[in-house]
Amino acid sequence: MADSAYSFSLTTFNPSGKLLQIEYALNAVNTGGKTSLGIRLLSEPAGIVYSGLGPDYRVLVRKARKKAQTYFQKYKEHAPASILVREIAAVMQEFTQSGGVRPFGVSILYAGYDDDGPQLYQIDPSGAYFGWKATAIGKDSVSAKTFLERRYNDDLEIEDAIHTALLTLREGFEGEMDETNIEVGIIKEDKKFHVLTC
């Protein structure tokens, strides 16, 4: 294994120009377990969910909530989605280059509401983040994204968007989908993040 000499060093690139620790973290995201810690509220207009390692997600939720609270205490308003996403991504990126730590083995979907309307972001273990209209992370995410590309349009009503999300989940879901293993988070014009219950 040619990469073994590079796999323990966090800040050393292998001959092909990759940081193997980031590759390992992305592998954790794509092969994450079937269980999830679920959707978490960060602040009134924002929630997150993950794919990957649960303990890493708990750490990031705690850090993200602290950043959201600090912003709210300082400015007396909720942090815009772009600012909070950038802060979370900075924490994740820092763990790709600091000694004594490893990259977080999670990708995060962040849903929030700010002056520009509803926002959806994906944050990867490297600290890179992307804005989306619709996306998927984790196991079978490639086929889920393909399914979403065929079904999504900007004129979807909230009920149709929820239905599309559930159909997307069913495409790659093993077993029966019910209220014990599926959660849906939404943000409407009231600028509040809601986790739907049956």
**Alpha carbons within 13 A on the beta-carbon side of 135:** 21
Task: Give the count of domains, the chain.
Answer: 1
Lowest mean pLDDT among 6-15, 71-80, 112-121: 6-15
Question: Mean pLDDT over residues 179-188, rounded?
Answer: 89
Whether residue 166 has pLDDT greater than 60: yes
Indicate the average pLDDT of the chain: 87
Query: What is the model's pLDDT at position 8?
Result: 53
Please give the pLDDT value at position 198.
Answer: 61
What pLDDT is recorded for position 23? 73
Question: What integer pLDDT is reported at residue 6 of this predicted model?
Answer: 47
Q: What CATH number does residue 109 fall under? A: 3.60.20.10
Domain hosting 140: range is 2-196
Residues 6+ apart with CB under 8 A from 131: 119, 120, 121
Residues 6+ apart with CB under 8 A from 188: 158, 194
Average pLDDT rounded to a whole number, residues 185-190:
90
Higher-confidence residue of 196 and 70: namely 70
CA distances to 44, 143, 153, 194 from 190, in Å:
10, 32, 22, 10
Give the 3-state DSSP-derived string for the chain, with helices as H, strands as E and coil as C: CHHHHCCCCCCCCCCCCCCHHHHHHHHHHHCCCCCCCCCEEEECCEEEEEEECHHHHHHHHHHHHHHHHHHHHHHCCCCCHHHHHHHHHHHHHHCCCCCCCCCCCEEEEEEEEECCEEEEEEECCCCCEEEECCCCCCCCHHHHHHHHHHHCCCCCCHHHHHHHHHHHHHHHCCCCCCCCCCCEEEECCCCCEEEECC
Instruction: Decide if pLDDT at 115 tops 80.
Output: yes
For residue 100, pLDDT over 90 is answered with no
